[in-house]
């Protein structure tokens, strides 16, 4: 700026001869200064605009490069999915080991001698197939645990109460009774096999095949155990619990109602046994109650009519909606016993309160290419347990005279 002022003075001195008008000299100098300042201001504004345009372009590029992914979860699970697929096909576990070392999948891989946990996609497929089938899972209380057992605390009594007067003494009331039920988790396993040639075929979806095989085996084993398991190395089924007539019911046993005829419904009033079973259950549990029976029993029950000739059974009006008996849902569980002398072929109750299934959320797979050459065995395992947790929530129908 000082240089420009000096140049302006020099031009003014050259334009005005010595002895000229001082006012004209000052006016000429100011005019030159203003022109130089305007030129400087215009150049500065041009440079600022250029820098602003460059910054705008950089911001647009940054926003483009840091745009959030549309499938963050898929991208996160992709490395483990590829590594798990490589392990299933060829036994190459370097990818899974690398994920553990890098800390990317600490919760989805374990030591090789114990097998590897299946990738999340396959695990979700297995879990959805288990839940979607006609087993007690559909109506029971299912919890996931990380321990080897699950404890349920049951408050099976009410705190005592009494009427009090303003001046009268208050007597001590009864204390509640707390029951602890421990559900042990047992190992459930399946071992499908496939030829190495089939695994080498890129068109073969090994993960979908494995998920289907594992789920099919687990479904059958679980469904049977939840109904009639003896509790030894498997869940304890609700039908193996001690039973007594509903009139003599006590905690620790399931109450039952007899049909009045050995091995069948009563010939005269067959529907009466179903009605008695419904109202043997407390009203607190009836709101969420479900009938459980197999297909043969359902075929006999759905023919029943009330005194006015109306069927007790009604099919679901929408696709996927369960059938109803006396307005309550019906679960067809093929592991329930057939109608026979002294059998408990029909159950009715609130199984969400009455039966609890505890399981670990992971499924492990161990690849064995040696035991069944030229086939490859896949040893899959998970841990699950089940037991009755509220003995008042389930009632049974016994096909017997008493």
pLDDT for 160 equals 58
Mind listing the pLDDT tens digit for each residue in 10-63?
555 555 455 557 777 767 777 777 777 777 777 777 777 776 776 666 555 454
Those residues of the chain that have pLDDT short of 50 are 16, 61, 63-77, 100-109, 111-112
Sequence-distant (≥ 6) Cβ neighbours of residue 121 within 8 angstroms: 77, 81, 207
- Which positions ≥6 away from 1 have C-beta within 8 Å? 40
Q: What is the pLDDT of residue 168?
A: 64
Domain 118-156+177-402 part of CATH 3.30.70: no
Q: What is the pLDDT of residue 68?
A: 44
Pairing verdict, β 328-332 and 355-359: unpaired
Domain coordinates of the chain in residue numbers?
A: 2-63, 118-156+177-402
Backbone angles phi, psi at 346, to 5 degrees: -130, 135
Six token digits for residue 21: 């008008």
The SS3 call for residue 90 is helix
| Per-residue pLDDT at 164 | 65
* Those residues with Cβ within 8 angstroms of residue 378's Cβ, 6 or more apart along the chain or in another chain: 88, 191, 192, 193, 194, 210, 213, 365, 366, 367, 368
């Amino acid at each position: 700026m000082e240089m420009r002022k000096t140049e302006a003075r020099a031009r003014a001195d050259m334009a005005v001869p010595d002895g000229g008008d001082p006012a004209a000299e000052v006016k000429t100098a100011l005019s030159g200064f203003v022109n130089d300042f305007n030129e400087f201001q215009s150049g500065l504004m041009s440079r600022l605009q250029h820098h602003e345009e460059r910054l705008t372009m950089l911001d647009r590029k940054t926003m483009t490069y840091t745009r959030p992914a549309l499938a963050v979860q898929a991208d996160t699970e992709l490395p483990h999915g590829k590594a798990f697929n490589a392990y299933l096909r060829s036994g190459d576990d370097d990818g899974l080991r690398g994920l553990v070392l890098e800390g990317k999948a600490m919760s989805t891989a374990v030591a090789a001698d114990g097998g590897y946990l299946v990738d999340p996609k396959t695990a979700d497929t297995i879990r959805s197939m288990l839940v979607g089938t006609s087993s007690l899972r559909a109506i029971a209380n299912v919890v996931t645990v990380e321990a080897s057992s699950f404890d349920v605390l049951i408050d099976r009594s009410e705190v005592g109460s009494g009427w009090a007067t303003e001046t009268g003494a208050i007597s001590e009331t009864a204390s509640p009774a707390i029951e602890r039920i421990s559900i042990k988790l047992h190992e459930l396993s399946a071992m499908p096999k496939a030829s190495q040639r089939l695994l080498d075929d890129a068109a073969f979806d090994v993960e979908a095949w494995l998920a289907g095989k594992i789920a099919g085996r687990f479904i059958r084993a679980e469904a049977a155990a939840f109904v009639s398991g003896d509790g030894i190395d498997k869940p304890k089924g609700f039908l193996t619990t001690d039973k007594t007539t509903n009139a003599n019911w006590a905690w620790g046993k399931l109450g039952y109602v007899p049909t009045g005829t050995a091995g069948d419904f009563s010939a005269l009033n067959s529907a009466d046994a179903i009605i008695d079973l419904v109202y043997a259950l407390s009203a607190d549990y009836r709101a969420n109650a479900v009938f459980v029976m197999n297909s043969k029993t359902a075929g006999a029950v759905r023919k029943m009519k009330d005194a006015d000739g109306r069927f007790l059974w009604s099919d679901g009006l929408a696709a996927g909606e369960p059938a109803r008996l006396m307005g309550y849902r019906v679960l067809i569980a093929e592991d329930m016993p057939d109608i026979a002398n002294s059998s408990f072929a029909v159950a009715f109750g609130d199984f969400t309160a009455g039966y609890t299934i505890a399981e670990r959320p992971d499924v492990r797979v161990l690849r064995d290419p040696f035991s069944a050459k030229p086939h490859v065995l896949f040893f899959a395992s998970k841990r699950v347990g089940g037991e009755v947790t509220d003995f008042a929530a389930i009632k049974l129908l016994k096909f017997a005279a008493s």
